[in-house]
Structure formats: C-alpha cells, structure tokens
Structure 1
Amino acid sequence: RVTNYAQWENAAALQAMLGNPEANAHIEKCRALAEHVDFHLYTVEHCSVATNVAG
C-alpha cells in the first residue's frame, strides 16, 4: 500500500483538484500502476507540538 499525504483547505478544494485535467492525468498514471486507487478525506481533530526536545 502506498499513501500520498496532502492537505486541502476544504472538501471543495479537493473536488476542484479531482476535476483538474492535469491532476487527472497524474491520477490515471497512478491507476495504471496500482490495483486500486482511492481517496479519503479526514478531519484534523487535534494537533500538538513537542517542547523541550533534546536534539
């Protein structure tokens, strides 16, 4: 399984990308290589930042 992570401002922005012919050309190349391509939209519920990390 391969995952492509991208952040979208909202669901409409994702839909706009999916309707873009240039993006569709890229998606079709992915479909030619994969058995299955699917899209999932998730909502960020929590973000945290580590503090005092040694490094």
Structure 2
Amino acid sequence: VRVTNYAQWENATALQAMLGNPEANAHIEKCRALAEHVDFHLYTVEHCSVATNVAG
C-alpha cells in the first residue's frame, strides 16, 4: 500500500524550510513510526483542467 500526501509549495526553498521546521519534523517522525518508508518528492504540475462530468 502506498499513501500519497499532496501539498503545494511556492518553491523548493519553501519545502526545504518546512523540512527544517521542528514542528514539521515531529509530525514526520510520527509518520515514520507508522510507515515502512517515507520519502519526499518535488514535482511540477504542468497542466490542470477542470472536470466537467463528475459522477456522484
């Protein structure tokens, strides 16, 4: 099972600042205690569109 947590960052520097934040690190350590593996990836969203037909 893979769980993905999506967050938007202004830039890579903002992500690095979060990773250096003691409160964020406390949360990350709780996640590490529950998971076999925790890693971070920075992606760039190149295209977004709005769905017009959403079932529900």
| Counterpart-to-counterpart distance in 2, 1:53 and 1:19 | 39
TM-score normalised by structure 2 residue count: 0.84
| 1:12–1:54 Cα change, 3 Å | same
Pairs aligned (count):
55
Query: What is the TM-score when the length of structure 1 is the normalising length?
Result: 0.86
Larger Rg: 1
**Amino-acid identity (%):** 98
- How far the C-alpha of 1:52 sits from its partner, in A, is 8.3
Unaligned runs of 5+ residues in structure 2 are none
Q: Which runs of 5+ in 1 are unaligned?
A: none
SS in 2 for 1:23: helix
Give the root-mean-square deviation of aligned CA atoms: 2.0
